[in-house]
Amino acid sequence: MTEKTLFEPYALGDLSLANRIVMAPLTRNRAGAGLVPNELALTYYAQRASAGLIITEATQVSAQAQGYQDTPGLYTPEQIAGWRTVTDAVHAKGGHIFVQLWHVGRVSHVDLQPGGAAPVAPSSIRAATKTFVNNGFADVSEPRALELDELPGIVDDFRRAAANAMAAGFDGVEIHGANGYLLEQFIKDGANQRTDAYGGSIENRARLLLEVVTAVTKEIGAVRTGVRVSPVSPANGISCSDPQSQYDYIAERLNALGIVYLHVVEGATGGPRDVAPFDYDALRSRFGQAYLANNGYDRDLATSHLNEGRADMFAFGRLFISNPDLVERLEAGASLAPLNPALLYGGGAAGYTDYPTLADAGTQ
């Protein structure tokens, strides 16, 4: 049997990807006035267009959805136009690009909320985490619990943002249901103490995510819709007492909705893969479309899991920051450039668009 490689073309729905390597969503806090992607963003994503698929930095679906300084939105005409310049640049280089849509929920600060309002959450439980605001990191603010009659509006914000994504030229959207943000806050009982139809049972806690996915797939099609989950990640102070049963159910329901891929953070986001017990193979068995694996992968581990049938595509995050030509470097077995962590969040071109390719560095 011929061994599969990361560098062969892959059919994702009706898209023909150049390879199985995905650029993971990476928040960089560099949006311009009006939270519009600017010329720097165009350059940044175009530099990385050799990825089989780019998933953009998380992008808020409304003003209320913002939780970090200078993150882009997709709810105004100006934001749509800004993203259109990015998608055009990526497509001109033969790449494909999805936008990650998020609502941060309780992971926010009053200084980022319209009118200085409290952030919203399933329950009035403050997250044990910080956010990037006023050019530095600060504790998140105390949230208020969403009223039942507010939830249809949240669903519609995601639906509208997905429609805007199509107007901006994206190939699809990824719904952010991971890393301790709003949809995961409903999913995990450490943040959700509701007693209505959106709390308590695993079915109830999954309800908001599934309503959002249903609305988005009806708007733009399941073949244009992916979902990201992080079953055991403690990111942003989140916890769950029953992750296996919760996420096995979610995978089954997402499979029934026919979404094009399931993006799974295996372990702690950006941390150990073995942070808590979880059977990812069991999760994968419940989802029949593309399984996108994330967290701690290198070429060898990804190739091994690909040939064992444990995943179809593999997301690389920070390596793409300092290696715009990561696909080419991995294929050639070339050295990988380190990133400068001091330049991850905010700022300008430094640490964003100035990392050289092998060709730029004259080492090819």
Instruction: Kindly list the catalytic residues.
Output: 181
How far from each other are the two terminal CA atoms of the chain, in whole angstroms?
32
Tokens representing 160 are 């509208």
Give the chain's length: 364
Q: Which two tokens stand for residue 232?
A: 């055991």
HEC string of 173-186?
A: EEEEECCCCHHHHH
Among 159, 174, 153, 151, which residue's Cα sits nearest to residue 216? 159
Return the beta strands (E) in 35-78 as ranges.
53-60
Taking the CA of residue 329 as centre, how many other CA atoms within 13 Å lie in the half-sphere pointing to its CB? Answer: 22
Contact call for residues 107 and 65 (beta carbons, < 8 A): no
Paired strand residues for 28: none
Give Cα 175 to chain centroid, integer Å: 7
